[in-house]
Chain A
């Protein structure tokens, strides 16, 4: 059901792990629907993403989209990273089964959440970036 690319990124996830003292960390999804993604970004003074890592609880597609999303934002500026949409992640993976499209949305949201965290820490506003939707802890308390 998965493309070869998805299987490759699931079996050999790129950038899996944490970044200590990351510039920005974003966690999205919830345990209820079975997917949680956490993305760590290391961003230098020039606003370039030097390092991106992830941790994911979820299905094969969730792992693969996290892996691909971190690959796509690495080396990019914050503004460029903002343009990495779920569609771009899906295309880079040669597509996802219809039931798994939400995983790519989650990956996009996780990047945005990490960028938001970075902006908060820096006390800056990133043009075009809105406050990400509730994270896992908010959903849990519903």
Chain B
């Protein structure tokens, strides 16, 4: 099997699993308990908080553990909007956010908030001038993702943070794809809130966090206990949190080397596909891009067919086609960067890890050449295109 879907989730690293196990089997006590079996868990959580805070230049008390990135996004957007509603009800975000942010915004729109969805350019970059122009006196929140999950484009977060700070507007960034992959410093980048998820960086699923700057007061997300400084009630997922911290330590340790290796593999894969398969295009920015992200549209074919054929050859990848999204519309991200519907339907996302090899990618290119040709031979769009090309010459 060749696994190229690391933006969906990653393999839990052995050192992460190892760190977690004692908190299932031995130190299983409730962290809120007085006895020492519980305090072992409490101690581990505090240590995890320090580790994760350190990774983004935050203070430990600014890290709130959640059940994942989606929860963190929901909390940040909804609670920030509600807590600032006295000042105004206008939110600025982008057209390419994850649905965790977009659907939270849509929910707020139903209760009287106004949302501006910024366009992005053909590479998926937010225009900071357009952002400045969108700012109004009643703007209370800006939410822009650190890096896009589909096309890998890394946004100008530092500049966006500076604009938000200058106008006294809260700034949230969904860093689910970026955390652990590229350096992040919440102080330098003027980030007020940041969402992250453990399973995108070889940690366990079902664990995430929201960083909330200490001077930002937003409401609790879950009520019913004093956990997470009263802001997120419920017995802590101790093994998950411990695993998250272990994954962050690992990511910090290997980040540079991992990124270098992934970039090399990424550019090798993109280069071979662009040279050897006609009528395709790279989606997303060529340089301002997550190290492991490859997203390519193959004209005249549809993504789900491509994915099934790759799966039959042991390759795991994903697509922005409608069929894979469970709706009739293809990816909102690919449409936002200006792709035609049929180009969006024919997109393939391959997200690499440092464990992939050039030999694997050579195999994938071989499979792709064969599959793309096979699907094109089947495609009426390709037939029409080739006929019109013959007619022209």
> Interface residues, chain A, CB within 8 Å of chain B?
10-11, 13, 16, 18, 27, 31-38, 55-60, 62-63, 99
Contacts and interface: CB of A to CB of B under 8 A. Distances in A.
Contacts of B382: 57
Given A31-B340, A31-B341, A55 B302 contact: no
Interface of B: 300-302, 304-305, 308, 312, 321-323, 326, 328, 330, 340-342, 345, 377-383
B305 A63 contact: yes
Given A58-B305, A59-B305, A60-B305, A32 B383 contact: no
Determine chain B's interface SS by DSSP, over half rule.
helix
A57 B380 contact: yes
Given A31-B345, A34-B323, A38-B380, A58 B308 contact: no
Contact of B308 (A27, A36, A60, A99): A60
A55 B305 contact: no
Contacts of B342: 31, 34, 57
Contact of A13 (B322, B341, B378, B381): B378
A38 B300 CA distance: 14
Nearest to A136: B380
Given A33-B328, A34-B322, A59 B312 contact: no
A57 B300 contact: yes
Nearest to B323: A59
Contacts of B381: 31, 36, 57
A57 B301 contact: yes
A55 B31 CA distance: 62
A56 B380 CA distance: 6
Contacts of B341: 31-34
Contacts of B330: 34
Contacts of B383: 18, 38, 55
A56 B383 CA distance: 10
Enumerate the 10 nearest inter-chain pairs by beta-carbon distance, A residue then B residue, closest first.
Answer: A31-B342, A59-B304, A59-B323, A38-B380, A55-B380, A34-B345, A57-B379, A32-B341, A34-B322, A33-B328
Contacts of A13: 378
B378 A56 contact: yes
A3 to B, nearest CB: 13
Nearest to A60: B308
A59 B321 contact: yes
9 contacts: A16-B377, A27-B380, A34-B341, A34-B342, A36-B379, A38-B383, A55-B383, A57-B300, A99-B326
Given A10-B308, A34-B321, 8 more contacts: A31-B341, A31-B345, A36-B381, A55-B378, A55-B383, A56-B378, A57-B380, A62-B305
A140 to B, nearest CB: 10
B276 to A, nearest CB: 22
A32 B380 CA distance: 14
